[in-house]
Amino acid sequence: MPQLITTLRQQPAWIALMIVIFLCLWVTSGYITAEPKSVDSSAGKTVIPKVRVQTLYAQKVNREVSLYGRTEPDRSATLRAEVKGLVTAIYVQEGQGVKQGQLILSLDSNDLSAQMRSACAVLQQREIELQGAESLGKKGFQSQSALAQAQANVELAKAEIERLQLALDKTQILAPFDGILNQRSVEVGDLLRDGDTIATVVDLDPLIISADVTENWIQYLQLGQPATGRLTTGQNTRGHIRYLSSVSNMGTNTFNLEVAVPNPEGRLFAGMSTELKVPIEERWALNITPAVMALDEQGNLGVKTVENNVVKFTPIDIVKSDSQGVWLTGLGEQADVITRGHGFVRHGDTVDVVHDTLSSELKTGKSDTQ
């Protein structure tokens, strides 16, 4: 041992080496003898969110074109005076219905009656002259030119009578068709000249709904296609497309269409704003509340569904909307739609599904808007 100590003193490097070995063994012994630390398993556990879903089934619904139009009369006629005369009688008041050929008002015939009596007398004279000319012609005492002149005089007398009769007829203002006397511009005692406005008659059966359709939808419409309208008064109407413009409006690039609506009792009025809907095709669609719709990162509108406990975002196409909610396609004939919690999950997330037993939840809007 003294010799070993002497050797270590002479070579101190061995002392340093022994110290290093001792320290390494001491440090290593701490890892070996130390008890393993308990790992909190709950800290690293992934929490799976719960969502409530409801299974929805598609129904057949009509895809519609929604337009905004205005009701108009089927026909409108402005009655004007064709002869000069004084208004002597009015038989129909404004707002009253008229039948075709019904007398609306009368004008003073002035001296037309006297002219008619004179023309009748002249015609009688011309016919006597024609008879005499024909009798002389048979005996050879009358030339052909004189006979032709007598015949011409008879025709001229008849033409004068017809002209006067036409003028007399024009003193009686008649309804041109069945309709309503919408406006009258004269009163008894007014002196009318040729061309003066007398009244306006409109025909409201059928009633016409006029609207403009964009160039994107005109290809889906055709004559005879059914349509429904809702007036500002709340009245609902049904009719058929009777006119489609073949040329668009240069200012708006829209096409005019007309829908004829039966109005036999005259309960619908012209000049009212109308919401017009024209069904164009029948498609399978699901009915949901707008509260369950969402946007993805690209801004696409869609609905979050669950397939095999995995969230799926599906873009949708809205077919129509009504009081029951929104009808949309793109989800197939059946889908498990997330009704609660869709705001906390994203496409591809794994979720714990709780099926909704309240079948009316979507229709009543009881869903999580987050």
Structure-block tokens of residue 158: 């008849």
Residue 140 confidence (pLDDT)? 65
Domains 50-61+283-364 and 76-107+173-201 equal at CATH topology level:
no
Confirm whether pTM is higher than 0.75. no
Residue 296 confidence (pLDDT)? 79
Largest pairwise CA distance in the chain: 195
Which residues are CB-contacts of 134 (< 8 A; sequence separation ≥ 6)? 142, 147, 150
Structure-block tokens of residue 188: 């008894």
Residue 36 confidence (pLDDT)? 47
Domain 109-170 adopts which CATH fold? Helix Hairpins (1.10.287)
> Are 110 and 85 a contacting pair, CB within 8 Å?
yes
Residue 160 confidence (pLDDT)? 86
Cα distances (Å, whole numbers) of residue 218 to 213, 227, 245, 248, 259: 6, 14, 9, 10, 14
Residue 22 confidence (pLDDT)? 72
Using only the alpha carbons of the chain, give its radius of gyration: 48
Residue 34 confidence (pLDDT)? 45
> Are 68 and 82 a contacting pair, CB within 8 Å?
no
What residue ranges do the domains of the chain occupy?
50-61+283-364, 66-74+203-281, 76-107+173-201, 109-170
User: Could you confirm whether domain 66-74+203-281 is CATH 2.40.30.170?
Assistant: yes
CATH number of 76-107+173-201: 2.40.50.100
Residue 103 confidence (pLDDT)? 94
CATH class of residue range 50-61+283-364: mainly beta
Q: What is the pLDDT along the chain (370 residues), one digit of tens a residue?
A: 556 566 656 666 666 667 767 777 766 665 444 444 444 444 456 678 888 888 888 888 878 888 999 999 999 999 999 988 899 999 999 989 999 999 999 998 878 778 888 888 888 888 887 777 777 767 666 667 777 887 888 888 888 888 888 888 888 999 999 999 999 999 999 999 989 999 999 999 999 999 999 998 898 899 999 999 999 988 999 999 999 999 999 888 999 999 999 999 889 999 999 999 998 877 888 888 888 888 877 878 888 888 888 888 888 888 777 777 788 887 777 888 888 877 778 888 888 888 876 444 444 344 443 3
Residue 351 burial (10 A CB sphere; 0-12, 13-18, 19+): buried
Which residues are CB-contacts of 290 (< 8 A; sequence separation ≥ 6)? 325, 326
Residue 38 confidence (pLDDT)? 44
Residue 60 confidence (pLDDT)? 81
